[in-house]
């Protein structure tokens, strides 16, 4: 998967109880920032986001299929956290939902490049909390047949961003299945028009 702009796209295949194979492809073009793209047939795509304010944080994510159709969205407020921790929690929750739904070929995408790099490359971090969440995500990913991850611009991640911000205003974790809210439906239509 090659994107326009200066981006890196990283693919990991996690074969159950076997080795993890990592390949990285880089692309550098002077073109428009990458837009949301559909996953391959048989794969579902999670766009995730985390948000942090002074005294609270929230997460959100959206799953779509190879046709770009909405499968599931989630939002929730979490305890106070840095934006990086919120992003990691958003990924973790998204992978838990994939496993609960029996989706074993998952492509995750978010606008937090540090988080994508932390999940897929040996990266030195000072925070034990980052290491803990990244390890839990890698464990969940090892249960999948295929796990892809990539970075996208904030503009290309607008649906997940909206769901993460909704988390601030809800009292309990919320999951939408098959039918999104009207605001989310409009953003999904915008993404579909770009494909």
Q: How far apart are CA 13 and CA 104, in angstroms?
A: 11
Q: How far apart are CA 153 and CA 81, in angstroms?
A: 22
CA distances from 151 to 46, 116, 155 (A): 12, 7, 12
What pTM did the predictor assign? Answer: 0.81
Match domain 7-194 to its CATH number in 2.40.160.60, 3.40.190.10, 2.60.40.10, 3.30.420.10: 3.30.420.10
Domains of the chain, residue spans = 7-194
Q: Are 26 and 8 in contact (CB under 8 A)?
A: yes
Other CB atoms within 10 Å distance of the CB of residue 52:
19
User: How many Cα neighbours within 13 Å face the side chain of 28?
Assistant: 0
Three-state secondary-structure class, residue 8: strand
pLDDT 10s digit of each residue in the chain, 195 long? 333 333 333 333 333 323 333 333 333 333 345 689 999 999 999 999 999 987 899 999 999 999 999 999 999 999 888 999 999 999 999 999 999 999 999 999 999 998 888 877 767 777 888 889 988 999 999 999 999 999 999 999 999 999 999 999 998 999 999 999 999 999 999 888 877
């Amino acid at each position: 998967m090659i994107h326009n702009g200066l981006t890196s796209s990283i693919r990991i295949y996690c074969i159950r109880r076997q080795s993890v194979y990592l390949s990285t492809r880089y692309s550098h073009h002077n073109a428009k920032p990458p837009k949301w793209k559909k996953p391959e047939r048989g794969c579902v795509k999670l766009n995730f986001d985390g948000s942090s304010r002074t005294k609270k944080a929230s997460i959100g994510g959206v799953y779509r299929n190879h046709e770009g159709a909405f499968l599931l969205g989630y939002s929730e407020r979490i305890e106070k956290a840095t934006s990086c921790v919120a992003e990691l929690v958003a990924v973790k929750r998204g992978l838990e939902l994939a496993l609960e739904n029996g989706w074993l070929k998952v492509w995750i995408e978010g606008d937090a490049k540090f988080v994508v790099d932390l999940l897929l490359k040996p990266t030195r971090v000072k925070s034990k909390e980052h290491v803990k969440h990244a390890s839990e995500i890698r464990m969940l990913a090892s249960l999948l047949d295929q796990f892809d991850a990539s970075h996208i611009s904030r503009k290309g991640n607008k649906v997940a961003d909206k769901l993460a911000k909704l988390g601030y205003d809800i009292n309990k974790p919320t999951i939408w299945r098959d039918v999104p809210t009207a605001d989310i439906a409009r953003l999904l239509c915008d993404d579909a028009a770009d494909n």
